[in-house]
Amino acid sequence: MNNYTRMLREHHLKATPQRLEIANALDCNGHMTIEKLYEVMLQKFNSISLATIYKNINIMIENAFIQEVKIPNEKSVYELSKERHSHVVCTKCNAIKDIMLDLSQTTQLASQVSHFKIDKADLVLSGLCQKCQQL
Amino acid sequence: MNNYTRMLREHHLKATPQRLEIANALDCNGHMTIEKLYEVMLQKFNSISLATIYKNINIMIENAFIQEVKIPNEKSVYELSKERHSHVVCTKCNAIKDIMLDLSQTTQLASQVSHFKIDKADLVLSGLCQKCQQL
DNA sequence: CTGGGTGCAAAGTATTTGCATGAAC
DNA sequence: GTTCATGCAAATACTTTGCACCCAG
Specify which residue's alpha carbon is closest to the C1' of nucleotide C5: A16
For the stretch B20-54, pLDDT in tens is: 999 999 999 999 999 999 999 999 999 999 999 99
For residue A87, the surrounding DSSP H or E stretch is: strand A86-90
> Which CATH number fits the domain that encloses residue B94?
3.30.1490.190
Angle between helix axes A50-62 and A17-29 (nearest 10 degrees) is 70
Q: What is the mean pLDDT of residues A112-122?
A: 98
Pairing of strands A86-90, A117-128: parallel
Report the alpha-carbon distance of residue B80 to residue B74 in Å, rounded.
19
Surface-to-core class of residue A108, CB atoms within 10 Å of its CB (0-12 exposed, 13-18 middle, 19+ buried):
exposed
Chain A hits for B103, Cβ within 8 Å: 106
Looking at the 3D structure of chain B, how many domains does it have? 2
pLDDT confidence band for A135 (50 / 70 / 90): confident
Residue B29 is part of a domain; what is its CATH number?
1.10.10.10
Nearest Cβ partner of B70 from A70, A88, A129? A70
pLDDT digits (tens, 9 = 90+) for B59-98: 999 999 999 999 999 999 999 999 999 999 999 999 999 9
Among A55, A18, A16, residue whose Cα is nearest residue A40:
A18
Are A9 and A53 contained in the same domain? yes
B45 touches strand C (CB under 7 A): no
* Burial track A4-13 (b if 16+ CB lie within 10 A, e otherwise): bbebbeeeeb
**Confidence at residue A1, expressed as pLDDT on a 0 to 100 scale:** 72
Residues A17, A71 within the same domain: yes
CA-wise closest residue to B53 among B5, B11, B21, B95: B21
Q: Check whether residue B17 and residue B67 sit in a common domain.
A: yes
pLDDT at B108: 98
- Per-residue confidence (pLDDT) for residue B2, from 0 to 100: 78
Interchain proximity B109–A101, CB inside 8 Å: yes
Residues B75 and B19 in one domain: yes
User: Which domain range does residue A68 map to?
Assistant: 4-80
Query: Per-residue pLDDT for B135 more than 90?
Result: no
Q: State chain A's maximal CA–CA distance in angstroms.
A: 53
Instruction: Mark yes or no for CB contact B129/A106 under 8 Å.
Output: no
Closest CA to B69 of B96, B91, B92: B96
DSSP assignment letter at A47: T
For residues A111-132, average pLDDT: 98
Which of these three, B80, B103, B122, is where a domain ends?
B80
Tell me: do A68 and A118 sit in the same domain: no
pTM of the model: 0.96
What separation in angstroms does the CA of B75 have from each of A19, B34, B48, B71? 27, 9, 22, 7
